[in-house]
Amino acid sequence: MNAIGAYFSPSGGTKRACELVGGLFGAEEYINLGGRERAQRSFGKDELLVLALPVYAGQMPAVPGLLDGLKGENTPCVILATYGNRHYDDTLAQVKHLLGEQGFRCAGAAAVITPHIFAPTLGEGRPDEQDKAVLEQFVQGVKDKLAREDWAEAAVPGNPTPAPKPAVPVKKDRDWDTCLGCAICAKACPTGAMDLKTLMWVDSKCISCMSCVSACPTGALGFNSSLIAQKLTANFSARREVETFLEG
């Protein structure tokens, strides 16, 4: 079975998780779902989609049409929800529901801890060797499952159709002395919240993913999440473990 990875990963943590799990399936192709244009890929029955998305406020990123370009044909998929040690809430159920409408069947799912973009000490160094051991066992379980013709979709927790939540507001700034005016930041913005000419943000469209900050080649963009980090660190520092879902 040909495995293909796909990810939305503004700060790189979700990409690493996708490549870790995808690599265990032998994936050699990876689709970046970021940027202003939605990636397009059709999958056959004998392929496997390994999809990894970060958790924002307990849900998948609120990027319009983020998964619309992925089309399956009764195609098995593995869903990864990556999060910064707080919780994944409704993300797995939400993504499973959307992929189901587009022709995919969920063979397995996992909630994987990665560094929190606003509180880097949460999830620092994750996934680590302990996580990798759990994920190796999970991948083998998926392989064994797909070897059977009568396999059932994995059951996952959460609400598949949650009410949208507002983005966490985070103040961003730009150092115009080091800014090149190249618009790489605006082109990286998945919601079109940055004007390609003025390079300014439209707050109502911004989902605080920090794609713009990560993409800047000179480090001219920054953000201040110190207050959020204090709250998160005070309440969610206890280590959470990878959770996996295989049974129907």
List the CATH number of the domain containing 137: 3.40.50.360
Both 131 and 213 in one domain: the answer is: no
Per-residue pLDDT at 64: 95
Per-residue pLDDT at 167: 86
Both 212 and 129 in one domain: the answer is: no
Per-residue pLDDT at 105: 98
Both 36 and 123 in one domain: the answer is: yes
Residues in the chain, pLDDT under 70: none
Both 38 and 104 in one domain: the answer is: yes
Q: Give the torsion through C-alpha atoms of 157, 159, 165, 170, to 10 deg.
A: 10
Both 47 and 142 in one domain: the answer is: yes
Both 143 and 219 in one domain: the answer is: no
Both 47 and 134 in one domain: the answer is: yes
Report the C-alpha gap between 40 and 211 in whole angstroms: 20
**DSSP-assigned beta bridge partners for residue 104:** 75
Parent domain of 192: 171-224
Q: Is 134 helix (H, G, I), strand (E, B) or coil?
A: helix
Per-residue pLDDT at 248: 79
Both 107 and 18 in one domain: the answer is: yes
Residue 176: C-alpha distances to residues 89, 118, 189, 198 (Å): 39, 23, 19, 12
**DSSP-assigned beta bridge partners for residue 201:** 194
Q: Residue 191 in contact with residue 207, Cβ under 8 Å? A: yes
Both 181 and 112 in one domain: the answer is: no
pTM: 0.97
Number of domains observed in the structure of the chain: 2
Report the C-alpha gap between 189 and 247 in whole angstroms: 37
Both 128 and 55 in one domain: the answer is: yes
234 lies in some domain? no
